[in-house]
Amino acid sequence: MTTSEQQHIALTNFAQIAQVYCTFIDSLEHTKPPKLYSQLESLLIKLHTAILPIRPLLGDVEHDHLDMTHEQRKNIAQIIANAVAAETHQLMDDFESLGGHEDYIRRINMFWDDLNDIYSDLADGLARWNLGTQDAHDDAQWVWRRGFEIHWGEHLTRAAQTIHEIRYTLHLD
């Protein structure tokens, strides 16, 4: 199997996982699923694992017109914030009662933002990927891998830490 074929398989796998994550976040508008944090933890692990074999690549074609609008990003952010509000407030209260450090409180308070930024960057790549052309796939590869390196990867690790605290400090989910 050539390197190009391996990359295509890795990208296809990543696109599928990215779609599952975005669909899951979209579903929060209608219902808060049981085991929300277990499911989020599993999805973040899958995303992190799936992006690692993807090589950095400069996309030759720009598809900026496919990026989510500010309003779309705001709407998804509100959906996420509503879904995680109770647990993040409880976690902040626990840390504050123990004399929690300001940085912990700030990170927990931005949990919804972490999940939203992951969603936005993945959705921007999916919009390109779904065009189905090689140029669009190359652009999606660049959006996902470069975004992981400089943006959504940091959000993923912070979100994973907050999920860990919700699940194992608060013993929720």
Q: What digits encode the pLDDT tens for the residues 38-97?
A: 999 999 999 999 999 998 876 555 666 777 788 988 888 899 888 888 888 788 777 666
What is the per-residue pLDDT for 100? 62
Q: Which residues contact 38 (CB under 8 A, 6 or more apart)?
A: 167, 173
State how far the Cα of 131 lies from the Cα of 153, in Å rounded to an integer. 24
Count of H-run helices and E-run strands, the chain: 7, 0
| C-alpha pair distances (Å), 109 with each of 16, 79, 87 | 29, 15, 10
Report the distance separating Cα 71 and Cα 128, nearest Å: 19
Per the CB < 8 A criterion, the answer to whether 53 and 10 are in contact is yes
pLDDT digits (tens, 9 = 90+) for 95-107: 666 666 677 777 8
Is 112:73 a contact under the CB 8 Å cutoff?
Answer: no
What's the average model confidence in pLDDT over 12-18? 99
Res. 37: pLDDT tops 90: yes
Q: Which CATH class is domain 3-54+74-168?
A: mainly alpha
pLDDT at 63: 65
pLDDT in the model for residue 146: 94
pLDDT at 96: 67
Rounded to the nearest integer, the mean pLDDT of the chain is 89
